[in-house]
Structure 1
């Protein structure tokens, strides 16, 4: 469906500021005719300009764009100290709108997807859910879950993995979930410039969103995805074993027991701690007594390498290497579909820049690599 600017909202915002359309055009660095075309529904602004409109007029996406049933659904991880702003939402929604033409180049969608109809963060219900997922993945309760185990689940549920190199981020921009409800396709952006233990958590978190599409973009959905990810990576059997080691130990020995489990499973010591505490609370046992500052200090002192450094030597990789790894390791058809679109429609690097949220230089390199692979 063709996206249309919500001209009434923009006119109201202009009136409140005493501005004309020409003044708005000057403020966002665009011509008056282009803005006029937007207001008349003849054209739709690119993500960068849509974001500029949102910032200038202090309007959210739903105020800027007339809603439709096929509007992308965005899920950002709710995380303390990392506020999701309207700017984040506007940019992600615009990316989602631009992804729609790419869907026709993806493989045919499956009729059935795995779903959790009544997702719950209640301990026993959550453990049952993750046990069923582990059984489907053919891994036992004590087995170390690798991110490679999760890749097939995304594929089976028509979730297209999009590995990206966004640099180290200290906020929610390590993953982005864009659901296109009309097309029944989900794009999951995963930042490879992330520590392994965090990368696994992000993947498990995003898988929870795939299983619960009706909750995507809500606080309830984020709470469930966080709870699900921790339980999936470190289920009750593991938490019980670690608790038996840590409960009667000294503070330093308790930290050592948690760290040992974290290292064994390649997950964060914080994830281990939270799962052990959840187990103890559910069973009516005494909670571990730990200084949170010591816990976080230990976590920060034992960080693993970045996934991008482990995958690529040297890092960052060349465009062709990133494309090949996306197809080979992540079993993603994203660049395959993108290659077809470039060839069939003559799409330029600007499109890649917008849908991948990368610089023009990187987009141009990817564009050339995709066309070069097609030629050869």
Structure 2
């Protein structure tokens, strides 16, 4: 069974507005026959038309589209602070997932053995056992500084394709997007390089947790576990214990904060992550929490931000298409662009496809397409 428009819901939405199919076609800038074909199931709208159809009729993806549940993409956003995921955002991500399916055949053969966390738990000691196992698997001690490069190999080993994107620091409501194609057992992880290094590492660890727990993808429980996993992986118990006793020995809250800043700088992670993990350790051990408050940590953190990952990787920015795609392949070991190149040359895929699967401006998609076509 292929995806098709939920004709009953569409016609009900038209009736509620007092519209005919011709009225909808005029609103969409299409022929009446195109709308008729959607309703009859003879055709399915392209992602941009699907998004416009949903927003015009104010229908969600699930209300508008009938799709086999086993074939429906599973999406999860790593949103910017205060950002809200709307139906339009979800619909666009679903459309991206649908369009990514033809690319799967051009990806390298996935490995059959994959690491999973069978019983993900937020309980402190259980979580520490899990992150210790992950650190051991990537060859890192419990007190060593974890870089995002350490995490990259784990994605490829577990059927996840990293897609580094340049979405702008403030232009996009999301900083990471997780799209799981259940039937294909492939996950695409879109990571915005226009983000601060300390945040980028957290988001990568967060997304890795999703890869380890595919059954929780797209659920609130999965988001909660991924956040807890990321913090614990970046600053595990051994580090939190030592930092707690150093901070607790200070005279006041500002002395504590200075100790936390030192740890955050040493590990290139956010001050807030250090603060949370130390307090998590204190709670688990029945110790007094730090005297400094969330509000103080956020105020200081917001005034002391590091470089964007894109600034670290590229000089100048934005990079040329060839340099950008080379970084995706060599730094992030991503098969995305080599696979896309094979698809472009094999199928004659145009820049519009690239624009839609990457959610980037057409001008940027055209530049990438020109390089991929050579």
1:42 maps to 42
1:193 maps to 194
- 1:189-338 equivalences under 5 Å are 189-249=190-250, 250-338=252-340
Distance 1:364 1:171, change over 3 A: closer
For structure 1, the 5+ residue unaligned runs are none
Q: Is the 8 A contact 1:82 1:171 kept in 2?
A: no
1:11 is the counterpart of 2:14: no
Following the alignment from structure 2 to structure 1, what is the Cα–Cα distance between the partners of residues 125 and 15?
A: 55
Distance 1:277 1:192, change over 3 A: same
The secondary structure found in structure 2 opposite 1:139 is: coil
1:177 maps to 178
Following the alignment from structure 1 to structure 2, what is the Cα–Cα distance between the partners of residues 311 and 9?
A: 48
Q: Is the 8 A contact 1:77 1:172 kept in 2?
A: no
The secondary structure found in structure 1 opposite 2:92 is: helix
Following the alignment from structure 2 to structure 1, what is the Cα–Cα distance between the partners of residues 291 and 345?
A: 60
Following the alignment from structure 1 to structure 2, what is the Cα–Cα distance between the partners of residues 266 and 36?
A: 56
2:103 maps to 102
Following the alignment from structure 1 to structure 2, what is the Cα–Cα distance between the partners of residues 128 and 356?
A: 36
TM-score by length of 1: 0.96
Q: Is the 8 A contact 2:351 2:365 kept in 1?
A: yes
Shift of 1:248: 3.2
Following the alignment from structure 2 to structure 1, what is the Cα–Cα distance between the partners of residues 32 and 122?
A: 51
The secondary structure found in structure 2 opposite 1:179 is: strand
2:55 maps to 55
Following the alignment from structure 1 to structure 2, what is the Cα–Cα distance between the partners of residues 287 and 298?
A: 19
1:113 maps to 114
Following the alignment from structure 1 to structure 2, what is the Cα–Cα distance between the partners of residues 289 and 53?
A: 53
Q: Is the 8 A contact 1:78 1:222 kept in 2?
A: no
Q: Is the 8 A contact 2:79 2:174 kept in 1?
A: no
Q: Deviations over 1:154-196 (max 9, x none)?
A: 0000100000000003876110000000000000000000000
- 1:120-199 equivalences under 5 Å are 120-169=121-170, 173-199=174-200
Q: Is the 8 A contact 2:176 2:189 kept in 1?
A: yes
Q: Is the 8 A contact 2:279 2:289 kept in 1?
A: yes
Distance 1:311 1:228, change over 3 A: same
Distance 1:78 1:357, change over 3 A: closer
Distance 1:128 1:172, change over 3 A: farther
TM-score by length of 2: 0.97
Following the alignment from structure 1 to structure 2, what is the Cα–Cα distance between the partners of residues 4 and 151?
A: 37
Q: Is the 8 A contact 2:164 2:191 kept in 1?
A: yes
The secondary structure found in structure 2 opposite 1:109 is: coil
RMSD, matched Cα: 1.3
Following the alignment from structure 2 to structure 1, what is the Cα–Cα distance between the partners of residues 173 and 56?
A: 24
1:344 is the counterpart of 2:349: no
Q: Is the 8 A contact 1:127 1:235 kept in 2?
A: yes
For structure 2, the 5+ residue unaligned runs are none
Following the alignment from structure 1 to structure 2, what is the Cα–Cα distance between the partners of residues 233 and 308?
A: 21
Following the alignment from structure 2 to structure 1, what is the Cα–Cα distance between the partners of residues 360 and 131?
A: 35
Shift of 1:30: 2.5
Q: Deviations over 1:116-148 (max 9, x none)?
A: 111011111111110110010110011000000
Q: Is the 8 A contact 2:2 2:67 kept in 1?
A: no
Following the alignment from structure 2 to structure 1, what is the Cα–Cα distance between the partners of residues 188 and 243?
A: 36
The secondary structure found in structure 2 opposite 1:77 is: strand
Q: Deviations over 1:102-121 (max 9, x none)?
A: 00000112212111111011
Moved more, 257-266 or 54-63: 54-63
Moved more, 263-272 or 247-256: 247-256
Moved more, 41-50 or 147-156: 41-50
Shift of 1:197: 0.4
The secondary structure found in structure 2 opposite 1:200 is: helix
